Structure 1
């Protein structure tokens, strides 16, 4: 008798960034599921609700206000460790930083960092970057309260170049309050990675019109890594702002990721 064999479908874990609901990945989940992957997009702690529900907790959502980067990393590490096999992780913005930290911990088979917030030691002095992060960091405001991006902030940092109607609709559908403590932790050792450590394949994706995470900052992030012993990729998409997962053209990045995974042998 020939023994029965079983196959395990590779899981992709999607990780959202700051200020946006995890439901932004819904279209991506459908796309990658159709390509044969098992897909999940777990919410951050204290964010498992609709954008409207989370905004209604403002300004005194003390649980979310108290969230720290290490707690967030532990949250996704625990989710991944409960899976039957190491997954692929795809993260956007601060979710991209989490991808880099999870890759550094060797918890995944591959990581894709889309317009990634950089780890400690990688920064930019471009005015668009400084302007975009100054209010969210809120150093002259209380960390006991969350920060909700205004529509004006959203237009500049995430959806520059889009029509007024698209900007307003995307704001109402996606924007949620954020912990200032998590954002401030990006500048601390909690966001440190070992760039020389052998690791799973890692792909960086950037956009030429991103204000909050300029393409030059993404490229500097990529260049920090020792690429002599581990697969490392970089791809810039022309005309893309920071709102990549929610743009009508998100299939550009999704299709490229599929191709890159195949080339990287994942």
Structure 2
């Protein structure tokens, strides 16, 4: 009997790991073993995370990568890694380190070497950058800030519902690390984009995303030009940063699944 392929889901900032529940249930039905562990220090539930915001404070990119790498080392085989936002950056780092069979990076945070920083991205992250001390703190979004950063392509009611269901405080440190990536020769936001032996990678982007505009995803794709490994891109023109959790999530999940099937996974 063939062992089911493991799939590891990694969320980004301001969302709880349980926001992947529809995806894990779908992938389980499709014959995979699926898990969505939280970031290091993340409490098990949304209410606990909101009540204990400092539990995830001062956790950076390397902390998260090593956390998930340790989880992968405990698996029977290399997983498919699917990540959103900073989870998409982490997925790329794990793939570049040959710790993933394949990766799907959805609206992935800016990796080292990507230069455009659109104004909408700066506004979406302003709640963190407005105070330098937030590098070592956790920061929460208001419903209005969440609507700009995640739910701008949705109705106000749907955005507010997602905020109530899934939004949690996030560590500020990864955003400061990514912002300074091109000035740091040893930046944790660096990805081994030249690895020609890695598994396949699919980059996904939302055309209305304020937090990671599609120009960032296209610039990320160019960073892989020196690798012969499979690197594909898929754009959803009418979707925002909430595309993994809003009412249209199934289209994104089906697209990822169909791509994985084409890779023989």
TM more than 0.5: yes
Q: TM-score, normalised by structure 2?
A: 0.92
Whether 1:65 and 2:57 are equivalent positions in the alignment is yes
* Aligned match for 2:135, one of 143, 164, 167: 143
Write out aligned runs for 1:40-119 (5 A).
40-58=35-53, 61=54, 63-119=55-111
SS of corresponding position for 1:170: helix
* Aligned match for 1:29, one of 24, 27, 36: 24
Work out which of the two has the higher radius of gyration on C-alpha atoms and give 1 or 2. 1
Whether 1:8 and 2:3 are equivalent positions in the alignment is yes
Structure 1 residue runs of 4+, over 4 Å off?
Answer: none
Partner of 1:3: none
**Farther off after superposition, 81-90 or 43-52:** 43-52
**Farther off after superposition, 198-207 or 122-131:** 122-131
The structure-2 alpha-carbon separation of the partners of 1:220 and 1:10, relative to structure 1 and needing over 3 Å to count, comes to: same
Q: TM-score, normalised by structure 1?
A: 0.92
The structure-2 alpha-carbon separation of the partners of 1:28 and 1:142, relative to structure 1 and needing over 3 Å to count, comes to: closer
Partner of 1:255: 254
Equivalent residue pairs, number: 258
Aligned partners of 2:226 and 2:243: how far apart in 1? 26
Structure 1 unaligned runs (5+)? 1-5
Shift of 1:204: 0.3
Aligned partners of 2:71 and 2:149: how far apart in 1? 30
Structure 2 unaligned runs (5+)? 182-186
Shift of 1:47: 1.2
The structure-2 alpha-carbon separation of the partners of 1:99 and 1:203, relative to structure 1 and needing over 3 Å to count, comes to: same
